[in-house]
Each structure stands twice: as structure tokens, then as C-alpha cells.
Structure 1
């Protein structure tokens, strides 16, 4: 076989398509169908890969969960006490890649750091870049609003729980749909600022809903993360 003919064979569309269709490999330290601790660039977090992760070539939607202030520190197990990582630990098989990072003591969620983490995850995992979403509770609810405001092209949608953002800045994320939740009697994070954010986003032409739980205090995450429509809604969102 001549060199030119061999080159044509190796670069033929059929061969290139076959290579592109190969299922992704699971990175060292992770396992499909299990929630494992991982660390990249100094950031520690839980990673859930669906059981079929290594069996299909199509990219997976990604959901990032941001915890509240009480889960900060160095004990990564604290991150699994609420929300999606808790449900995965209890055996609920989320049909997406789930990333649950942990903040250090005294820190707040930094949009720049989250933006860089997302870029690293896209490079290391089989992520559908058009279907990256985020949710968070309390401090994490504030975190997802801040992230979407600072980097609206990062996320296809957000679901903040008992959080709020800056109404003066949310027009920047008018293309990021929001499904928000809050307890009517929340004494830790007041409801009014969350209402203001949702109304400001709607006024800017964005799409946003806010579910208010009557008689519920700060723990609106318990009913919110049991909303049967929340995960399907997040996974159905796609950037245009």
C-alpha cells in the first residue's frame, strides 16, 4: 500500500466517524453508576456518572449542585446531606453527570472559579456543552444566580432554592431560564429579594418561575428536590 493511499484510508470519513463514535472511557478514580470523590485543580467534589456512561458515545447533560453554608469545610460527606447528591447516595439514578463541589470554610461561591471548573469538566468528561445546568440551596441558591449572571453562556438553566441574586444585574442572563423555590416563612433568607430577582428577570424578557411553599421556613429544599418535574425540566433545557 502506498503512503498516499494509506493516508486516505486513515482519514476516510467512515473511519473517522467510527473513531468519534467510540464510547468514552471513565477517568481514573471514577466509576459509572457510583458517586465518587474527585479533585481537579485544587477543587474537591463528588462526581456521579450514569451507569451507561461508558456504553454510549453521545455526550451527557451535566448538573452542578451548590450546597449551603452549613456544608462548607473539609468533610466532603457533608455535601451529601441535602439535594441531588443525597438522593444519588440513597440510590436514585440521576440520568446525567452530577457534580457536587465543596466550599472551604468561610468561602462563598465564586462565579470565576465555577466557570473555570466547568471548563475543566468539559475537557475531562463526556459533557454536552449545550445542556449544562446548575441548582443550589441557600448560599448555593445565591451562588447559581451569581454564576448565571456573570457567565450566562455557561448554563442552559438554573434552579435556585431559598436564594436570590442581584435584580440590577439579572438582565445579563435573560436567556437562562429559571425555576426557583422558596419558603414563605423563611427567616434565614428572606423571600422578598428572591421575588425581586424573578420579577426583574421577567421584566428583562427572561423566563422564570418561583414556587413559594406556604408555611415553610428555610428548609424549602426538602419539597423542592422532591418536585417530580424539577429534574426533567433541567434535563430538557438546551442552549440555543
Structure 2
């Protein structure tokens, strides 16, 4: 009997809610072995928030994994409760989640990555800036953020994606972040899809070049 694709977990937070998440382990993962694995934290958008973890599988990496795609990394896919949408993703909660996963699983701490789409793209920028020494790379998709402390991630490899015709989150939000990061000497590149609206994540996550680029990044 094969094991489930995902397992479910919860993190008791220091606020009035519990962070629940899906966890993906590579098929060759063995807790008793010393081999360590890359860890990818992936943040969903507005449409997947709530209390039903199945919603997390509607888009992005969880959707591909649910359809049978296999990856050589540990995947963590938290879900944001509807009631917390006004505040978006909270970096301290996500930091606690990463702490727990890194303690419980064989994680290569030099190869921890963060990515996200739409609201998760905003969360990706924010989390990277909050914990600038934690990640080996970041892939924010159709998001944006605050450029005030962008210099904190000038040494972090970032590949940003956005649709030129996005009428939900204007492409200028990504352009502003990328240009600000370039001004401080950041290691960043931007891919703008010319004929794409808000869904710039589907082709991004299906692109093996993107996944390979991410997994090649490693902290010194």
C-alpha cells in the first residue's frame, strides 16, 4: 500500500488561531537516514484561504503534486484562515512553522526556499525581508511589497514573475520591488509574461528551468 501524497499538520501559534498545513515528502525520503533534503515553503493566494486544506491543492505546486508530479524536496504548504485575510501572511507564524519542520525532518538548512502566488507573492517578499538570512532563494509570483528594507535581501537570489495584463495585482508592483532591489545591488531578475493576466503561476511552476534554478541556489 502506497503512502499518501500529503500529510496534514498544525502549528499552535502565539495568536488566536492555529496554522494548518500540508506536508509533502519525496518518495525516497527516509527519516532514519542522514541524507538531508531541500525545503520549499509555498504560500497560496486569496482563493485558497479558509479551513479546508483541499483548497490549498487548487493552484501552484500542491496542485502539480496532487496530480502526480514528484519533486526532490520537502514541501510545506500552509493555509491562511479567512478571518486573517486582512493582515495577509504573518512572517512570525511562518517562521515558527519553518522552525518546527526543520527540527522534525531531515532538512538541508542551506537549501530552504520560499515562493508564493498573488497574496502569497506578497508574503514571499515580506518573509524574505523579515528573515533575510534564512533562505537560499525566493520566487515571488504576481505579488509586491514594501521596498523600505529591501536592502536586507540584496544577497538573496530572487526570480520574480508577473503577467503584463494582470488587472488584479498590477505588474508595476513587481517592477517596483525588482527595481528597488537592483538599486541596492541585489541578485534579482524579473520575467513578465506579455499576454498573461493574473495567473502567472501556472506556467511558472510547470517550468522545469525555474525549479532547477531554485534548487541550484545554496547558502554559503
TM-score over 0.5 (shorter chain)? yes
Equivalence map 1:51-200=2 (5 Å): 51-54=27-30, 56-107=33-84, 108-200=88-180
User: Structure 2, unaligned stretches of length 5 or more?
Assistant: 13-17
Secondary structure at the aligned position of 1:229 is classed as: helix
Q: For 1:176-232, what per-residue CA distance to the aligned partner results, in whole angstroms no more than 9, with x for missing partners?
A: 111111000101001112101111111111111111011211111111112221111
Structure 1 segments of 4 or more deviating over 3 A? none
Matched residue of 2:82: which SS?
coil
The separation in 2 between residues aligned to 1:195 and 1:69, in whole angstroms, is: 21
Q: Report the Cα distance in structure 2 between the residues aligned to 1:206 and 1:89, rounded to whole angstroms.
A: 35
TM normalised by structure 2 equals 0.91
Q: CA deviation at 1:43?
A: 2.0
Secondary structure of the residue aligned to 1:153 is coil
The CA deviation string for residues 126-161 of structure 1, in whole angstroms up to 9 with x for no partner, is 111110001100000000000001111121111011
1:4 equivalent in structure 2: none
Residue of structure 2 in register with 1:43 after alignment = 19
Partner SS, residue 52 of structure 1: coil
The equivalent position to 1:220 in structure 2, one of 200, 204, 214, is 200
SS of corresponding position for 1:53:
coil
Bigger relative contact order (CA 8 A; separation at least 6): 2
TM-superposed CA distance for 1:33, in Å, is: 7.0
How far apart are the structure 2 equivalents of 1:36 and 1:117?
15
Q: Aligned residues, how many? A: 210
Could you tell me which runs of 5 or more consecutive residues in structure 1 were left unpaired when the two chains were aligned: 1-30
Q: TM-score, normalised by structure 1?
A: 0.84
Whichever of the two has the greater Rg, that structure is: 1
Report which stretch shifted further, 61-70 or 228-237: 228-237
Equivalent residues of 1:80, 1:89 under 8 A apart: yes
* Superposition CA RMSD, Å: 1.4
Whether contact under 8 Å (1:131, 1:155) holds in the other structure is yes
